[in-house]
Amino acid sequence: MAKNLSGTLSRTLMAFNMSLNQSIVKTVAKQEFRKLQITLPIIALLASLGILVNAMICYGILKKKTLQTPTFYLLINLGVSHSFILFTSAAITVTNCFLALHLMGTPTLAASCKFSYYVNGIACISSMVTLIAISIERYHMITPGLSQRTSMLNTSRKLKTIITLTWVVGILIALPILTLADILAEYPYMCNIRYISFNFNIAYFTSLFIAALLIPIITVNVIYIKIMNFLRQNETPTDGQLRNYKILKKNYLHHLKTVKLLILVTVTFILTCTPFFMANLIIAYNAQNSVYFFLRLGRKTDSISFLGNAFLILSCIQSPLIFLYSSQSIRSALPFQCCRKFRRSVMDTNSENRSDQRLPKILTVSSFNNFVVSAGS
């Protein structure tokens, strides 16, 4: 009798806990969905804008023959990886919105979480490796001498190998994300980064932080400092270079402008990506699933999640905007620039026609010119 009573009591407590847990999940999911209704359009708009601007940069480089150099081809690769980051960031937000609305972790939604997080990780790592490749290419292009304009990626095979390598590195380093990303059955209202074990999570996210953030920061800093020191030392030509002073000065100014632009893009991208890597590292050191971590934060969750996504998206928008603002060559190759030139030519033609119409009908500009020619003959 006592055993039956204790069994009934334990089952009642379990049912009560489950119903309480479900009510908590529903409440949290409703709050999450309301906030996602505000943040989702903002993130979708920013992601669409970023993809458009990156596509414009890629189009401008491919359209302009003078820009078809190894550095600019690597910038196309950077634009592609940025577009993947933007697309997957928006996809993660859409998936979270759907989960918060329906509260069901289907295999399709779980696969969407895994795929989005995995591709997002690949693109982030590929972007960092591409920035390293650009800095190394610039170093080998500039340091042999301002008069030497050959690149270490002087063949299409070398360039394709480097671009492929940036993606292979990303695919390999981001591979554990396929195991880590899932949907937690108890709290199926958002994508989750699973806590497997302290050693696994700490080891992976620490390695990711070092390989995808610290090493690129150190590498590009050292290389660009060396490049700037070389340019500073070679600003004034030696006695033997005075004959080619104009050419050397032109090359010097060109390299200086390009390097400053690349430094600006690299620094801004790394700074805005740092919160993303830091957040993953903090969650790993807390030794719990990301859903539990965000639940513990309470109301701060949405602002932190939104800011993390916003910073990551911003990092992929600002780079092409900087290039678009700074490079006249890229802007001149864009379709709207062609339309502007066409409108200017039409306006010039119309102004000429209006100047003709101001004269009397008997004597127009063309008839006056004909009269002068005939009189001279």
Can you tell me whether residue 206 is helix, strand or coil? Answer: helix
pLDDT at 20 over 50: no
What pLDDT is recorded for position 109? Answer: 86
Whether the pLDDT of residue 292 is over 80: the answer is yes
Residue-wise burial string across 332-368, b where 16 or more C-beta atoms lie within 10 A, e elsewhere: ebbeeeeeeeeeeeeeeeeeeeeeeeeeeeeeeeeee
Average pLDDT over residues 257-278: 89
Residue 355's pLDDT is: 47
Query: Is a pLDDT exceeding 90 seen at residue 200?
Result: yes
- Structure confidence at residue 39 (pLDDT): 81
Per-residue pLDDT, 306: 67
What pLDDT is attached to residue 341? 52
Confidence of residue 340 (pLDDT cuts 50, 70, 90): low
What's the rounded mean pLDDT across residues 31-58? 86
pLDDT digits (tens, 9 = 90+) for 47-81: 999 999 999 999 989 988 888 889 899 999 999 99
> In the prediction, which pLDDT does 82 show?
96
* 197-218 average pLDDT score: 93
Q: Give me the mean pLDDT over the 215-231 stretch.
A: 92
Pair 44, 101: CB distance under 8 Å = no
Residue 255 is predicted with a pLDDT of 78
Q: Is the pLDDT of residue 19 over 50?
A: no
In whole angstroms, give the CA distance from residue 173 to residue 115.
Answer: 15
9: enclosing H helix or E strand: helix 2-63
Which has the higher per-residue pLDDT, 68 or 148?
68
Question: Would you say residue 15 has pLDDT above 50?
Answer: no
Q: Which of 37-51, 95-109, 269-283 has the lowest mean pLDDT?
A: 95-109
In this predicted structure, which of 33-37, 160-164, 169-173 has the lowest mean pLDDT? 33-37
295 pLDDT higher than 60? yes
Q: What is the pLDDT of residue 85?
A: 95
User: Predicted confidence band at 14 (pLDDT cuts at 50, 70, 90)?
Assistant: very low
* pLDDT value of residue 344: 58
Judged on CB neighbours under 10 Å (0-12, 13-18, 19+), 221 is: middle
Lowest mean pLDDT among 112-121, 218-227, 237-246, 264-273: 237-246
Report whether pLDDT(373) > 50: no
Q: What is the rounded CA–CA span in Å between residue 179 and residue 186?
A: 18
Alpha carbon separation from 178 to 113, 128, 172 (Å, rounded): 9, 20, 11
CATH topology of domain 29-341: Rhopdopsin 7-helix transmembrane proteins (1.20.1070)
What pLDDT is attached to residue 263? Answer: 92
Q: Return mean pLDDT, the chain.
A: 78
Mean pLDDT, residues 219-230 taken together? 92
| Ranges 20-34, 142-156, 283-297: which has the least confidence | 20-34
Across the range 102-129, mean pLDDT stands at 89
| pLDDT higher than 90, residue 165 | yes
Write the CB contacts of 350 (distance below 8 Å, at least 6 apart in sequence). none
pLDDT at 266: 92
Q: How much is the pLDDT for 13?
A: 36
- Pick the range with the lowest mean pLDDT from 138-147, 181-190, 288-297: 138-147
SS3 115: helix
- pLDDT of 352 > 70? The answer is no
- The answer to whether the beta carbons of residues 189 and 97 sit under 8 Å apart is no
Q: What share of the chain in percent tops pLDDT 90?
A: 33
